[in-house]
């Protein structure tokens, strides 16, 4: 029998925070169906897939996962805007949304700088590229005819022949304050990378809300947080040390206990509750080992 969706209690909403599972792109593509089906059977509300260079294409992964499941929402975190034409991104997103209403959560980002340089697609202004693409894609998904003469997005009377009746959310995968404010202005949600502590989630919500206020938006904004699910503290410590060495916005919020940054045995419920109270609408669990998938059934049992 299929389980009810896995939730984690939180005081912010009348409904509980959703739990998801990330199927990492380093795993063999032939195993994708097994992993997303296991996540659905275990009762997870969402399965998240990543479009990383140079692994499986994101849209192909999502289409396959949606066709092989019945209930679970499939999120794509994220499609790099520099390599995605806005019109074709909207076309593919709309088709998946029509075939699987309410089950596709699209994600856009500015792309990893090193990868974008590697393929000759690094724009001079990643934020401008991301904003123009997001605005155009969301307008097309709403069924609008779009004329745009931006720095990167140029459309002339473009409209979808088959816009979705149920418009899917488009979230941005961003980290810094400018990106978070941009997401609040132009997107339906935000995806935060792993090692996001409750303090960083609260900070992200504040910056997102500042962007929303500037744009006069009052609609919901869904915050998805990736979270390491590890069996020991040493694994988490290695990830924290690597992130600290790399720098970045999250580094300022890593001074608390390790259970703020990962699901560890014995503290799972407290960690999830803290993230829900900080502003997370969904937490998607990630294996710290790119070649070892999470055991969906065991995780669901531990979090029940």
Cβ contact 258:233 at 8 Å = yes
| Spatial distance between the Cα atoms of 243 and 230, rounded to a whole number of angstroms | 16
pTM for this one? 0.95
Give the CA radius of gyration of the chain.
18
* 135's tokens: 């605005």
Burial class for 233, CB neighbours closer than 10 Å (0-12, 13-18, 19+)? middle
Check residue 94 and give its pLDDT.
98
| Spatial distance between the Cα atoms of 247 and 243, rounded to a whole number of angstroms | 6
CA 84-159-109 angle, 5° bins: 25
Check residue 304 and give its pLDDT.
81
Q: What is the DSSP string of 159-206?
A: --SS--SSPPPEEEE--SHHHHHHHHHH-SEEEE-SS--HHHHHHHHH
| Spatial distance between the Cα atoms of 63 and 141, rounded to a whole number of angstroms | 17
- Sign, CA torsion 217/220/226/229: positive
Say how many C-beta atoms besides its own lie within 10 A of residue 266's C-beta.
8
Per-residue confidence of the chain (304 residues) as pLDDT tens digits?
345 566 664 334 334 899 999 999 999 999 999 999 999 999 999 999 999 999 999 999 999 999 999 999 999 999 999 999 999 999 999 999 999 999 999 999 999 999 999 999 999 999 999 999 999 999 999 999 999 999 999 999 999 999 999 999 999 999 999 999 999 999 999 999 999 999 999 999 999 999 999 999 999 999 999 999 988 899 999 999 998 898 888 889 999 999 999 999 999 999 999 999 999 999 999 999 999 999 999 999 988 8
Q: What backbone phi and psi angles, to 5 degrees, belong to 246?
A: -75, -20
| Spatial distance between the Cα atoms of 46 and 168, rounded to a whole number of angstroms | 14
22-42 exposure pattern, b = at least 16 Cβ within 10 A, e = fewer: bbbbebeeeebeebbbbbbbb
Check residue 290 and give its pLDDT.
94
* CA 173 from centre of chain: 6
| Spatial distance between the Cα atoms of 155 and 94, rounded to a whole number of angstroms | 17
Check residue 223 and give its pLDDT.
98
CA 234 to each of CA 206, 225, 226: distance values in angstroms, whole numbers, following the listed order: 31, 22, 19
**CB contact set of 132 (below 8 Å; sequence gap of 6+):** 86, 148, 150, 151, 152, 153
């Amino acid at each position: 029998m299929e389980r009810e969706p896995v939730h984690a209690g939180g005081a912010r909403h009348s409904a509980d925070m959703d739990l998801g599972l990330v199927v990492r792109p380093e795993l063999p593509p032939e195993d994708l169906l097994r992993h997303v089906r296991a996540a659905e059977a275990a009762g997870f509300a969402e399965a998240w897939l990543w479009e990383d260079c140079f692994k499986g294409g994101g849209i192909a992964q999502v289409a396959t996962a949606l066709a092989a499941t019945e209930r679970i929402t499939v999120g794509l975190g994220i499609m790099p805007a520099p390599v995605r034409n806005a019109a074709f991104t909207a076309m593919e997103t709309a088709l998946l949304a029509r075939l699987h209403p309410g089950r596709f959560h699209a994600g856009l980002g500015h792309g990893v700088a090193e990868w974008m340089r590697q393929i000759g697609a690094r724009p001079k202004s990643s934020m401008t590229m991301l904003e123009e693409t997001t605005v155009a894609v969301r307008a097309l998904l709403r069924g609008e005819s779009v004329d745009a003469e931006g720095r990167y997005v140029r459309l002339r009377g473009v409209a979808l022949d088959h816009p979705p009746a149920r418009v899917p959310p488009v979230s941005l995968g961003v980290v810094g304050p400018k990106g978070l404010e941009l997401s609040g202005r132009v997107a339906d949600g935000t995806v935060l990378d792993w090692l996001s502590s409750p303090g960083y989630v609260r900070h992200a919500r504040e910056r997102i809300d500042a962007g929303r206020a500037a744009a006069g938006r009052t609609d919901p904004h869904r915050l998805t947080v990736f979270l390491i699910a590890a069996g020991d503290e040493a694994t988490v410590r290695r990830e924290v040390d690597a992130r600290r060495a790399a720098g970045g916005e999250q580094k300022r919020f890593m001074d608390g206990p390790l259970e703020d940054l990962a699901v560890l045995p014995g503290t799972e419920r407290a960690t999830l509750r803290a993230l829900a109270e900080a502003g997370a609408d969904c937490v998607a669990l990630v294996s710290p080992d790119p070649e070892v998938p999470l055991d969906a059934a065991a995780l669901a049992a531990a979090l029940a």
